[in-house]
Amino acid sequence: MRLRHILTGASAAALMASAAHAERGADGQVNVLYYQAISIMTPYLSSGTKDIDGAALVLEPFARFDPDGHLVPYIAQEIPTLENGGISEDLKSITWKIKPDILWSDGTPVTAADAIFSWKYCTDPEGGCAQAPYYDDVTDVEAIDDKTVKVTFSVPKPYPYTAFVGAQSPIIQAKQFADCLGANAPSCTEANTMPIGTGPFRVTDFKANDVVTLEANPNYRDPAKPAFATLVLKGGGDAASAARAVLETGEFDYAWNAQVEPEILAQMAAAGKGEIISAFGTLLERLHVNQTDPAPALGEERSTVKHPHPFLTDPDVTKALSLAIDREILVETGYGEAGRPTCNLVPAPEYQNSPNNDWCLKQDLDQANKLLDDAGWAMGADGVRAKDGQRLSILYQTSVNSVRQAAQALIKQWWNEIGVEVELRQIDPAVFFGGDPGSPDTLQKFYADVEMYADNFEGTDAERYLGQWVCGEIPSPETAWQGGNTSRFCDPAYDAARAEMSTTTGDEDRAKMTIRLNDMIVNSAAIIPLIHRGRVSTKSKTLGGVEMNAFDSELWNVADWYRIK
């Protein structure tokens, strides 16, 4: 009897607690820490993920991705599809309907004109918009009526959810940015730092690269949200101390990107004030295997398709190299909660993660040795395999980064064990990723046999990402070393299948297509997938409602956050 009383009391208290959440601003302040401080509050002029996340508190797109990679309408009433008539039969246009009651934080209604303006703003050639690819192939954005926007494409788009979808291409207010088009974009300091948005918060004070102070948007569409009256987005410092501020001292409620050695992070979490949260998007740490010959003797023709690689075009050699790697150990030493082994190029979302390639998950040195023996690579007296006078010797490059360098050292050791000679090389990240055609050290020039880095794609549709692997995307002197096909993979069957994908509609069929293309690449000689990398952040145990998301901004559902009392 007494127990029942206690239980009813407890559940009543729980009910009251949840009732208390049902009021805007009831939970006071939430403190969020980004160790890379926010520089600007618009993704269109941003210099990195942190700005995109910061802007996501204020600016919203028509639809966002949820943690499973599915679309959720934000400014839009519903997700347009072929079935509900939102996408035209010829796949060349998509029509979005704006929620009727949605207001900007200054109290004025959101109209089709704002969406049209956002498109013009980002596609102005003088503006230097960082998110221009989101508006690729868009020929026109027009208003059917005040609340209906039609986006027209130049080509059929089986996947039209690019413009105005996700944290990177939100709607900005036409009135506020009217004078900020083109070359004027950078000088609109006020609009760029304190944008008027439809999101749960609005900026009250902006200190660039330091701290952003926000308050609940009085015109937010859900009168009960957000639960927090103010949000402080502090920046600066490093990843380890940011995690400490949540896990050990409890000064902050949420800290972004806990890129800390797994052991240290676990030690901090043991203090009991907070927890580590992670989500896995499409980021993949991989080894690209050069299909062309990078020998310096070839001069201008190094790493071009004119000279195939002397031994790395053999899928068995690549397979042996892949089998020699113990991915579990790489995860344990370098990534912890932030990584898991994978053999796929497209590791997420779950519905398009190929189930067919598990052979690489377990290290198998015997099998690796056997593959090389069978291929005719005989072990030499110095412990290095050779065939027809060609030694199995590899130059392995990556960017300067402690985790990558540790992985490099481990992989070198494993490869040495199967008779492969390895020379390591590290390049400054700004140069390696810089893409400067004048530098010999870019990842696109690939003057090495294998190179390691991480890459991903935004959103959930892999079409463009897989499009990087077609023959036409191979970087070469003729294309000023531009192009995403760094491995120089070229297979006409793949190109044909990839072309087929651009006419495939429907989520399910596209997922099948993605898996098919993924399998073609990962079973070729061109790539060794290593680690599926996730986002790792830390949150206080008193912060509720957090749903870590790897397909959109991490702060995508900040309106639902509340204080656990």
Partner 1 sequence: MLAYAVRRLLFAIPTLLVISFIIFLILDLAPSDPTANLPLTIPQDVRQQIRLSLGLGEPMHVRYLKWLYQFAVNEPMHALEQLTGHHFSATPRVRVLSWQTRSPVVDLILQRLPQTLWVVGLSYVVGILIAIPIGIVSAVRQYSWFDQIGTFVSMVGYSVPTFFTGLLMIMLFSVHLGWLPSIYDTNLRVTDVASFWAQVKQMIMPVMVLALFNAAQISRYMRASMLENLTQDYVRTARAKGMREWVVVMVHVLRNSLIPVVTVIALGVPQIFGGAIITEQIFRVNGLGQLLITGIQGADIPLVQTLTFLFAALIVLFNLIADLLYGMLDPRIRYD
- Residue numbers of the site for partner 1 (CB under 8 A)? 33, 37, 39-40, 45-49, 125-133, 183, 185-189, 192-193, 205, 207-211, 213, 232, 234-238, 241, 244-245, 248-249, 251-252, 271, 428-431, 433-436, 439, 453-458, 482, 484
Nearest approach in angstroms of CB 349 to partner 1 is 16
Q: Which is nearer to partner 1, 173 or 219 (CB)?
A: 173
Look at strands 138-145 and 378-379 and give their pairing.
unpaired
Report how far residue 396's alpha carbon sits from residue 410's, in angstroms, rounded to the nearest whole number.
12
Nearest approach in angstroms of CB 346 to partner 1 is 14
Helix (H) or strand (E) holding 465: helix 463-467
CB atoms within 10 A of CB 487: 25
Nearest approach in angstroms of CB 129 to partner 1 is 8
The amino acid at residue 271 is A
The two three-digit tokens of residue 27, written as one number: 């939970």
Report how far residue 180's alpha carbon sits from residue 440's, in angstroms, rounded to the nearest whole number.
38
Q: Which is nearer to partner 1, 132 or 305 (CB)?
A: 132
Nearest approach in angstroms of CB 394 to partner 1 is 24
Helix orientation angle between 315-323 and 365-374, rounded to the nearest 10 degrees: 160
Q: Which is nearer to partner 1, 37 or 98 (CB)?
A: 37
Nearest approach in angstroms of CB 187 to partner 1 is 7
Q: Which is nearer to partner 1, 102 or 191 (CB)?
A: 191
Return the residue matching tokens 């000088």. 187
**Which DSSP state fits 441?**
T
Report how far residue 376's alpha carbon sits from residue 222's, in angstroms, rounded to the nearest whole number.
68
The two three-digit tokens of residue 408, written as one number: 């490099």
Q: Which is nearer to partner 1, 369 or 460 (CB)?
A: 460
Report how far residue 528's alpha carbon sits from residue 123's, in angstroms, rounded to the nearest whole number.
37
Nearest approach in angstroms of CB 250 to partner 1 is 9
Nearest approach in angstroms of CB 264 to partner 1 is 12
Q: Which is nearer to partner 1, 45 or 418 (CB)?
A: 45
Q: Which is nearer to partner 1, 88 or 193 (CB)?
A: 193
Report how far residue 368's alpha carbon sits from residue 370's, in angstroms, rounded to the nearest whole number.
5
Q: Which is nearer to partner 1, 186 or 376 (CB)?
A: 186
Please list, in sequence order, all residues whose beta carbon lies within 8 angstroms of the beta carbon of residue 543, skipping any fewer than 6 positions away.
Answer: 30, 253, 254, 561, 562, 563, 564
Nearest approach in angstroms of CB 133 to partner 1 is 6
Nearest approach in angstroms of CB 163 to partner 1 is 15
Nearest approach in angstroms of CB 11 to partner 1 is 34
Nearest approach in angstroms of CB 470 to partner 1 is 15
Residue length of the chain: 565
With 0-12 CB in 10 A as exposed, 13-18 as middle and 19+ as buried, what is 136?
middle
Q: What are phi and psi of 481, to 5 degrees?
A: 60, 30
Nearest approach in angstroms of CB 236 to partner 1 is 4
The two three-digit tokens of residue 73, written as one number: 């309408």
> Is the torsion defined by CA of 135, 140, 144, 147 positive or negative?
positive
Contact 377, 386 (CB under 8 A): yes
Q: Which is nearer to partner 1, 104 or 453 (CB)?
A: 453
Q: Is-cis flag, bond preceding 100, omega within 30?
A: no
Report how far residue 321's alpha carbon sits from residue 369's, in angstroms, rounded to the nearest whole number.
9
Report how far residue 226's alpha carbon sits from residue 223's, in angstroms, rounded to the nearest whole number.
8
Report how far residue 526's alpha carbon sits from residue 549's, in angstroms, rounded to the nearest whole number.
30
Return the residue matching tokens 């009383």. 5
Q: Which is nearer to partner 1, 39 or 549 (CB)?
A: 39
Look at strands 211-216 and 201-207 and give their pairing.
antiparallel
Q: Which is nearer to partner 1, 159 or 252 (CB)?
A: 252
Q: Which is nearer to partner 1, 146 or 428 (CB)?
A: 428
